[in-house]
Amino acid sequence: MSKTQLRNSKTDLFNIASMLTDAELEVRDKVAEFVDRRVRPNIAQWFDDAHLPMELIPEMAELGLFGMHIDGYGCGGRSAVEYGIAMQEMEAGDSGLRTVISVQGSLAMTAIAKNGSEEQKQTWLPKMATGEIIGCFGLTEPTAGSDPSSMATHAKLVNGEWVLNGAKRWIGLATVAQVAIIWAKVSVADAKAAGVHPDGDTRPDDEMVVRGFIVPTETAGFRAEAIEQKLSMRASLQCDIALDDARVPVDAILPHNPGLRGPFLCLNEARYGIAWGALGAARDSIKDALEYASTRMQFGKPLTAYQLTQKKLADMTIALNKGQLMALQLGRANDAGTMELHQISMAKLDNVRVSIEIARECRTILGGNGITGDYSPLRHANNLESVRTYEGTDEVHTLIVGQKLTGEAAFS
Ligand SMILES: Cc1cc2nc3c(=O)[nH]c(=O)nc-3n(C[C@H](O)[C@H](O)[C@H](O)COP(=O)(O)OP(=O)(O)OC[C@H]3O[C@@H](n4cnc5c(N)ncnc54)[C@H](O)[C@@H]3O)c2cc1C
């Protein structure tokens, strides 16, 4: 029985597949087939070698995974549920590879799609959809993580050009990207001079506001360097970026959604994808543990015959099914246009933390063999530590849900 068939029959105890349309099942099966064929045979070695398999980019593009939820400009125009299902299948392979799709599609392409001019969309999105152009998304800084409003990177209008200075940290794909979306502070006066300050906004000229910039990575003064010796997301790439007097044309600024609304529109897309994706890693972990336990003999019986093992498998599968139902409900709300921000936070927070617990518990079933690359749970658990931290930590999402319940903002 292939892993794909096993996924349907063994862990889908609530028959969630029956709630999916034919188009959604088709997306699921196409991405699952790709993961089975191209990712599973190689992922342990890539993780060991800290290798991001760039050779998969054209095939991911061919599957329509880059910007698959964006309409037009050569993008997929698929539904939110289809996008979520694709993320779950990719992350069943590896969180690092799902991250590639999130960075390219949910972050870099969405930044242009939601905040860019028509000309910017025409220029960048079609080639990003085909993977000819790789993008990255620079929001986090060495001293500004959960609180991006404290960012120090800034852009100044000098002789008709924007001059960017600052530093970014943890930026996915930056050393292989052709284009970077850089979030930086600009003065209201400069935004007005560039013709991108909203009419009717009466803020004083010297106030600083966050804006996005499209920065080709070949720009003089732009430097990216990979972060080494990671213990998580090893088949993926995160980088430091330095901006030293990096000059871009006046029309490199994203004209719409000034302030943190700009990047947050993108983060919401990525968080939505993670709420689905993390469960793929959990599901894959259960699959490995179940297969192993059914053939591993101890004290004269397979591990599956012991009540303690069955309790672990039952609890994990119930938690997985609950998370999948939450993701599906979130996706249906997203497609209906009724999804609310606290719902994204609930699903991102809980589905990631449940998935980490599942991956770790599965590792216990594998015994000593579970610490080798022959099995997926410990790799998934290590990757999920990053997933738990990026796109809003547990604490940040807890505070968002807490604010919804109490009406009190307790962030600072
Ligand atoms: C693998 C990986 C990929 C990433 N990719 C990108 C990317 O492509 N682009 C990008 O811009 N960024 C990226 N990031 C950065 C990521 O978004 C940040 O790491 C994240 O926002 C947390 O910021 P920080 O690491 O600076 O931690 P901090 O913000 O310093 O947080 C440290 C701890 O303090 C807690 N904390 C912070 N504020 C509060 C509070 N008010 N109340 C209670 N607790 C609080 C946090 O929850 C956390 O537990 C990536 C990170 C990783 C690890």
| Residues 177-224 pLDDT 10s | 999 999 999 999 999 999 999 988 899 999 999 999 999 999 999 999
CA distance 351 to 388: 10
Q: Is the pLDDT of residue 9 over 70?
A: no
CA distance 366 to 75: 41
Residue 7's pLDDT band (cuts 50, 70, 90): very low
**Best residue among 103, 140, 210 to mutate for probing ligand 1, ranked by most atoms within 8 Å of CB:** 140
Q: Where in the chain is the domain with CATH 1.20.140.10?
A: 262-405
Given a contact cutoff of 8 angstroms between Cβ atoms, the answer to whether 377 and 366 are in contact is yes
Q: How far is CA 299 from the centre of its chain?
A: 43
Catalytic residue among 89, 391, 395, 408: 391
Q: Is the pLDDT of residue 236 over 50?
A: yes
CA distance 77 to 84: 13
> What average pLDDT is seen over the chain?
96
For residues 150-177, give the mean pLDDT. Answer: 98
25 lines ligand 1 (CB under 6 A): no
Q: Where in the chain is the domain with CATH 2.40.110.10?
A: 135-258
Q: Is the pLDDT of residue 372 over 80?
A: yes
CA distance 285 to 33: 18
Q: For domain 3-129, is the CATH number 1.10.540.10?
A: yes
Q: How far is CA 257 from the centre of its chain?
A: 21
Could you tell me the CA-to-CA distances from 70 to 13, 177, 356 in Å, in that order?
Answer: 32, 20, 30
Q: Where in the chain is the domain with CATH 1.10.540.10?
A: 3-129
Q: Which atom of ligand 1 is nearest to the CA of 183?
A: 11
Q: What is the pLDDT of residue 8?
A: 57
Closest protein CA for atom 26 of ligand 1: 145
**Phi and psi for 216 in degrees, rounded to 5?**
-60, 135
| Residue 391 alpha carbon to ligand 1 centre in Å | 7
**Best residue among 390, 397, 403 to mutate for probing ligand 1, ranked by most atoms within 8 Å of CB:** 390
Q: Which residues of 113-132 are buried (b: 16+ CB within 10 A; e: fewer)?
A: bbbbbeebbebbbbbbbbbe
Pairing type for strands 179-187 and 208-216 reads: antiparallel
Q: Which CATH class is domain 262-405?
A: mainly alpha
Neighbouring residues of 262: CB distance < 8 A, sequence distance ≥ 6: 111, 114, 115, 183, 210, 211, 212, 254, 256
Q: Which amino acid is at 74?
A: G
Q: What is the pLDDT of residue 3?
A: 44
Q: How far is CA 34 from the centre of its chain?
A: 19
103 lines ligand 1 (CB under 6 A): yes
Q: Which atom of ligand 1 is nearest to the CA of 136?
A: 8
**Bridge partners of residue 211, in order along the sequence:** 184
Q: What CATH number matches the domain at 135-258, 3.40.109.10, 2.40.110.10, 2.170.120.12, 3.40.50.261?
A: 2.40.110.10
Residue 357 is among the residues annotated as catalytic for this protein: no
pTM for the whole thing? Answer: 0.96
Q: What is the pLDDT of residue 132?
A: 98
Closest protein CA for atom 14 of ligand 1: 170
183 lines ligand 1 (CB under 6 A): no
| Residue 399 alpha carbon to ligand 1 centre in Å | 14
Q: Which atom of ligand 1 is nearest to the CA of 174?
A: 8
Q: Is the pLDDT of residue 77 over 90?
A: yes
372 lines ligand 1 (CB under 6 A): no
| Residue 185 alpha carbon to ligand 1 centre in Å | 19
Q: Which of 139, 132, 223, 121 is nearest to 181 (CA)?
A: 139
For residues 320-340, give the mean pLDDT. Answer: 98
Q: What is the pLDDT of residue 378?
A: 98
Pairing type for strands 179-187 and 135-138 reads: parallel
Neighbouring residues of 268: CB distance < 8 A, sequence distance ≥ 6: 341, 344
Q: Which atom of ligand 1 is nearest to the CA of 168?
A: 11
138 lines ligand 1 (CB under 6 A): yes
| Residue 397 alpha carbon to ligand 1 centre in Å | 12
